[in-house]
Structure 1
């Protein structure tokens, strides 16, 4: 495995907020607006966390209207797969999809 990629990915998952984001993404694609509610931090702060995960090749985004929706990349490295396997899946709202939060 590329050592630079490994370093980037390990740094990306070394933050509790980013681990929470990943636990939400285990079950479905999630809108950035839902992450703001889940983490209780500002949208710019959430975006910075998501940017680190995206730059590490762990997640990807697609634009839906004015919001971005994030999901896990399908083919994860063994290190990230191991981290994801250890995270408990957390349900997140899906704004704009008609589903409501519990």
Structure 2
């Protein structure tokens, strides 16, 4: 596995973004699931504009990418990011967040476009 050396200034910005508990949890959730804004609003019990702001910050540095499926925009980890391996390493120390997705499914709030 070939890892790139990243710019320290940009790496610092990425790590600052991950210093926010909500964004860090989002990233851990996205490690194993694609999610849309409405799913995050349900998980974090917060407004759509607040969630969109978190996702915009993650997207702007290239950590997440968007995919449109019908009327929904789904977010996923950007595995092509120069910072992907660094972020994956950080996420490897965190507990799995799949239970949050299972709770959404149990409440009928999980979006499925299949």
TM-score (norm 2): 0.75
Q: Which runs of 5+ in 1 are unaligned?
A: none
CA-to-partner distance for each residue in 1:32-82, whole Å, 9 max, x for gaps? 110000111000000001111111221111122332100001145343122
Q: Measure, in 2, the Cα distance between the counterparts of 1:35 and 1:59.
A: 14
Give the paired residue count: 98
- 1:16 aligns with 21
Is 1:84 aligned to residue 88 of structure 2? Answer: no
- Which is bigger in relative contact order (C-alpha 8 A, separation at least 6)? 1
Unaligned runs of 5+ in 2: 1-5, 105-109
Two-structure CA RMSD over aligned residues (Å): 1.8
Higher Rg: 2
Q: Structure 1 length normalisation: TM-score? A: 0.82
Secondary structure of the residue aligned to 1:86 is coil
